[in-house]
Amino acid sequence: EDAARAQRFQARIDAEERIEPNDWMPSAYRKTLVRQISQHAHSEIVGMLPEGNWITRAPSLRRKAALLAKVQDECGHGLYLYAAAETLGASREELVDAMLAGKAKYSSIFNYPTLTWADIGVIGWLVDGAAIMNQIPLCRCSYGPYARAMIRVCKEESFHQRQGYEIMLTLCHGSAEQKAMAQEALNRWWWPVLMMFGPPDQASQHSDTSTKWKIKRFSNDELRQKFIDATVPQAQYLGLIIPDPRMKQDEQGHWVHGPIDWSEFKQVLAGNGPCNRDRLAARRKAHADGAWVREAAAAYAEKRARRQMA
Ligand code: FAQ
């Protein structure tokens, strides 16, 4: 019976049908989606911290308003994504607790510090640029609620990318000092951004099944390559140098990167990146400080339900 169901399920995927919350699905499909969607949600929530660090120091009211709006969008993305994970039967409390306990992953990129204002430009330009490259194909993911959430998320990410690129343009057309600040930020973020796409294809343990289930439409290396090809001309336009002396263009016009230091990636995933401890400490404090809000909301919901019954 289960084998027949699994076959029908795969036939629906192959026919590009969307899988919805109440449809039958293999438990491994459910598990991998809960894993990916919750990691994605945690990334959005932890991802507010590096930029949040600059809200009080944005150089003008206009920059401050845009940054504030961007960080609020990230919070919204996190909430849609938790809601999408809940449609699979996961509980939000459990997911959040796993993150706070350091058991659940979130993107490696958010474990790096934002040292100067140029980092805010680079995050929008490259981190959001990489996020879009990865998330546009997820709009066609086989699981309906995740795919639909990604459509709205991608629209907002493209505004984020543009606000970042515009900061970079301003700095690169500014004083020598501003241009140097932009280059220095690019130097620090370039390699960690390439790691956002995940391990190389031969080391990516989930890729085969996620591709078969049309959760993934492109491999980690394919998306990394698309990102680099899109980004090199943007760096050239800014007059910045990609900090990869071995990068070269092949005959098809692709920019081939030099070796990535995967030991750094492993260290960050193991909790030993430059900011892992700070990030978790900040999330734990926020969660504890927000306990009264959750309690008040639950008490209010209970009161309303009682009133409706009466
Ligand atoms: N960091 O077998 P694979 C954003 C883990 S964008 C940490 O290749 P998969 C927007 C992976 O989970 C960032 N862990 O895995 C924003 C797995 O571990 P597990 C978030 C990583 O799932 C911008 C193991 O390595 N975006 O937040 C990373 O097939 C600015 C083996 O890897 C998403 O989450 C990494 N970089 O492919 C917010 C997109 N890479 O679970 C604020 C959705 C891999 O077995 C400011 N996710 N790992 O313990 C995906 O597309 C996929 O999950 C991949 C990984 C492509 C990330």
Longest CA pairwise span in the chain (Å): 75
* Cα separations in angstroms, 184 against 10, 16, 255: 48, 45, 21
| Cα–Cα distance, 55 to 120 (Å, whole number) | 10
Q: How far is the CA of 210 from the centre of ligand 1 (A)?
A: 13
How wide is the angle at C-alpha 109 spanned by C-alphas 103 and 110, nearest 5°?
Answer: 65
Q: How far is the CA of 299 from the centre of ligand 1 (A)?
A: 36
Tell me the pairing of strands 248-249 and 255-256.
Answer: antiparallel
ipTM over 0.90: yes
**Of 51, 99, 105, 202, which is best to mutate to test ligand 1, by the most ligand atoms within 8 angstroms of its C-beta?**
105
Q: How far is the CA of 203 from the centre of ligand 1 (A)?
A: 13
Residue of the CA atom closest to atom 55 of ligand 1: 198
**DSSP-assigned letters across all residues of 287-303:** HHHTHHHHHHHHHHHHH
Half-sphere exposure at residue 258, Cβ-oriented, CA atoms within 13 angstroms: 9
Q: Which amino acid is at 296?
A: A
- pTM over cut 0.90: yes
Residue of the CA atom closest to atom 39 of ligand 1: 40
pLDDT in tens, the chain (310 residues): 689 999 999 999 999 999 999 999 999 999 999 999 999 999 999 999 999 999 999 999 999 999 999 999 999 999 999 999 999 999 999 999 999 999 999 999 999 999 999 999 999 999 999 999 999 999 999 999 999 999 999 999 999 999 999 999 999 999 999 999 999 999 999 999 999 999 999 999 999 999 999 999 999 999 999 999 999 999 999 999 999 999 999 999 999 999 999 999 999 999 999 999 999 999 999 999 999 999 999 999 999 999 998 8
| Cα–Cα distance, 5 to 11 (Å, whole number) | 10
> Given the structure tokens 């394919």, which residue do they identify?
222
| Cα–Cα distance, 24 to 279 (Å, whole number) | 37
Q: How far is the CA of 190 from the centre of ligand 1 (A)?
A: 17
Residue of the CA atom closest to atom 14 of ligand 1: 107
Q: How far is the CA of 306 from the centre of ligand 1 (A)?
A: 43
Q: How many CB atoms lie within 10 A of CB 293?
A: 9
**DSSP-assigned letters across all residues of 29-41:** HHHHHHHHHHHHH
Asked if residue 143 lies in contact with residue 33, where contact means CB atoms within 8 angstroms, the answer is: yes
C-beta of 127 in contact with ligand 1 (< 6 A): yes
Residue of the CA atom closest to atom 54 of ligand 1: 198
C-beta of 34 in contact with ligand 1 (< 6 A): no
